[in-house]
Structure 1
Amino acid sequence: MFVASTVCFLVFMYVASVACRADREPECSRFHYEEQLLEKMVRMEFNVERIQQRLDSVSESCAKLDDSTRLTEEVKDQVGSVYTRWGQDTCPTGSSFIYDGFVAGSHFTHTGSGVNYLCLSKEPIWANGSPTASNVGIIHGSEYETDSANIWTHLHNNEVPCAVCKSRGPTMMIPGKNICYEGWKLEYHGYMMTSYHGHAGSKEFICVDSEATVAEGSNSGDQNGALLYFVKAVCGALKCPPYDGNELITCAVCSQTK
C-alpha cells in the first residue's frame, strides 16, 4: 500500500511538473519573441543613424559642390574675354555690355596712321588744359562700301556702329566659318570686311555682324574715311575648293564654354 501510494505521488508530481512547464512555455516564448523584436528595433535604429550620417555627409558634399560650381561661375564672370561686335551697338544675349561707339580708323588713302579699326566711344572725355599738337596721326569714321554687292546695299556710305562686350569665356574669331566648333558658343556671325585691296592704306580683317546696322546719327553721304569692303578669296596658294573665288568670306565670333 505504501509503495503504491509513493508511486502515485511521484507520477502526480511528474505530471504536475510537465503541466507547469507546458503552462510556462507560451510565456517564455513571448518573452523570447519580444526580446528578439527589441533587438531588431535597436539594430534598425542604429542603421537609421548610420544612414542619416551618410545622408548628412552627402548633403555636405553637395553643398560644397554647389559652392564650387558657384565659385566657378563667379570666376568665369570675372575672367571672361572682351571683344568688339562690329556693325552693331548692342551685345549678344549672354554677354555683358561695356560700351558702344563708332568704328574708326585711318583714311583709305593714307599710308601712315594706324592699320587697325577702333571702336571709338560715343562719349569722349578730353584732357584738362586742352593740350594740342601739329604733327599727328589722323583718325576717320568708317563707312560701309557695299554698292557693288548684292547684299547690304542699303548700308552703302553709312557710318558703322560697334559695341564692346564681355563674354563668360575666352573668345576667338573664326574666318571662313559662320558657326562655332564644339565646346564654343556663337556670339555672332557675319562677313569678313577690310579696306579695298587697291587702296594705299591697309587695314586689318574684322568680322562684321550679319545683322549690321548704321551708326547713330549716320547719313548716306559719301564722306569716305576708314572704308569697309567685303572679302573674297583668290584661288591659287589658297586652295579652291574648299574656297571659292566668287563667294564672300564669312566669319564667326565664338566664346569657349568647356
Structure 2
Amino acid sequence: MLFGTVIIAFQISFASTDNEGRVRQNPPKESSQKDERSIQPVALGTEEIPLDVNKHGNLAGYGNLRKRRYDNTEEQKVSAADDQSNLRSPPGESASGAVYVRWGHHSCPSSSQLVYTGSAAGTSYADSGGGVNQLCLSQNPVYDSPVAGVGGERSFVNGIEYQISDFPYLQSKNTHDVPCAVCLAPARVAKLIIPGTNVCPSNGWTREYGGYLMSERGNTVHKRSMHICVDREMQLIPRSDGAPSDGLRQLLNLVEGRCSPSGGGIPCGPYVHGYELTCAVCTK
C-alpha cells in the first residue's frame, strides 16, 4: 500500500527588544507563495484522497483517510470472496468425488453420476510395442491438425473384444466389443479396486460394482496388458454374428489363479487353483 507524505510548514516568529527593554514581536514575513494550508493529495491504491492541513498543523482529513483505507481493504476482501465463489459448484452439485471406469457397461450405478460413455480400446495382442493400459475412448472424438493416412512412426489403438467362449455364464458375450462408462461418485475421496473378491470392506466403503478380473491372454503369442475389473452384468457393443476378428484387436480374457502348496504361486487354501478371479470397485 502506498502512503502519501504530508509536509506541514510552521511559521516561527522571533522576538526582539526595543530601546526601553520591552519585548517586541517581529511581524511575520510576507510569503510570496500561497497559503501553506493547501490541499495535498495522498495516493492510496488507485485513488487520491485530499488531506487538509489546518492552521494548527493538524490533518483534517486523517479520519477520512483511515476510513478510506478500511473501505479499500473491505473491497479487496469482497473481490477475493467473489473470485472464490466463482470456483464453487452450482447449488445442488458436488465439487468433489471419486472417478472410476465401469468396464463392460454403458451406464453408471445408481450411486454415481455418468461422466461419459465410451468404448474400450487398447494395443493389438500381436503388437510388441505400444501401450499396455486399456482406454475408455470417447464416442465423440475431436482431432487437432490430423494427418491423413497411416503414419510409420505411430502407436496404434484398436478395439477390445471379449474372449470368453469356454465360460458358460458369459458365452453369449464372446467376440463382441467391450463398452465402458466413466463415472463420478459424489462426495467420495478414494477409489479402490480389489482383485480376488467382489465384496468391499465394511468400514465405510461403498461397492460401485463387482465383476471378473480380465486381461489379455497369457501365452507366447499375445502381448501383456493391464488387468481391469469388468462388470459381472456385462453389456456389449454388438458385432455381426459370426464376423471374424480382424486380427488387430485386443482380446479380453478371464484371469485364473494358480496356487501352489509348496510356494511359487498364490496361497492355496483361500484360493483354488484354476478358478476365475473376481474383483470389486469400491469408493469411500
Query: 2-side partners of 1:102 and 1:111: how far apart?
Result: 23
Query: 1-side partners of 2:270 and 2:210: how far apart?
Result: 20
Aligned match of 1:246 in 263, 268, 274?
A: 274
Q: Give the gaps of 5 or more residues in structure 1.
A: 1-70
Root mean square deviation of aligned Cα: 2.1
Q: AA paired with 1:135? A: E
**Paired residue secondary structure (2:168):** coil
**Paired residue secondary structure (2:172):** helix
Query: 1-side partners of 2:109 and 2:239: how far apart?
Result: 22
Corresponding residue of 1:180: 200
**C-alpha contact (below 8 Å) 2:216/2:222 kept by paired residues:** no
Aligned match of 1:192 in 181, 190, 213?
A: 213
Corresponding residue of 1:67: none
Deviation at residue 131 of structure 1 after TM alignment? 6.8
Corresponding residue of 1:22: none
Deviation at residue 192 of structure 1 after TM alignment? 0.3
Choose between structure 1 and 2: higher helix proportion: 1
**C-alpha contact (below 8 Å) 1:96/1:166 kept by paired residues:** yes
Deviation at residue 129 of structure 1 after TM alignment? 5.8
Aligned match of 1:219 in 240, 262, 277?
A: 240
1:150-181 C-alpha deviation (Å, 9 max, x unpaired): 22100110000000001121211110111110
Corresponding residue of 2:283: 255
Q: Give the gaps of 5 or more residues in structure 2.
A: 1-87
Matches within 5 A, 1:19-168: 77-128=94-145, 130=147, 133-168=151-186
1:204 aligns with 2:221: no
Deviation at residue 75 of structure 1 after TM alignment? 11
Deviation at residue 241 of structure 1 after TM alignment? 1.2
What percentage of aligned pairs have identical amino acids? 33
1:232 aligns with 2:260: no
Query: 1-side partners of 2:141 and 2:194: how far apart?
Result: 31
1:192-241 C-alpha deviation (Å, 9 max, x unpaired): 000100033100000000000112x5334232411100000111221111
**C-alpha contact (below 8 Å) 1:101/1:161 kept by paired residues:** yes
**C-alpha contact (below 8 Å) 1:144/1:159 kept by paired residues:** yes
Choose between structure 1 and 2: higher strand proportion: 2
Q: Against the structure 1 CA distance between its residues 96 and 240, is the aligned structure 2 distance closer, same or farther, given a 3 Å change threshold? A: same
TM-score (norm 1): 0.66
Query: 1-side partners of 2:113 and 2:207: how far apart?
Result: 14
**C-alpha contact (below 8 Å) 1:143/1:156 kept by paired residues:** yes
Query: 1-side partners of 2:240 and 2:277: how far apart?
Result: 27
Deviation at residue 113 of structure 1 after TM alignment? 0.5
Q: AA paired with 2:198? A: N
Query: 2-side partners of 1:163 and 1:229: how far apart?
Result: 19
Corresponding residue of 1:32: none
Q: AA paired with 1:254? A: C
Pick the structure with greater CA Rg: 1
Deviation at residue 128 of structure 1 after TM alignment? 3.7
Query: 1-side partners of 2:138 and 2:94: how far apart?
Result: 24
Query: 2-side partners of 1:116 and 1:136: how far apart?
Result: 16
Higher RCO (C-alpha 8 Å, min separation 6)? 1
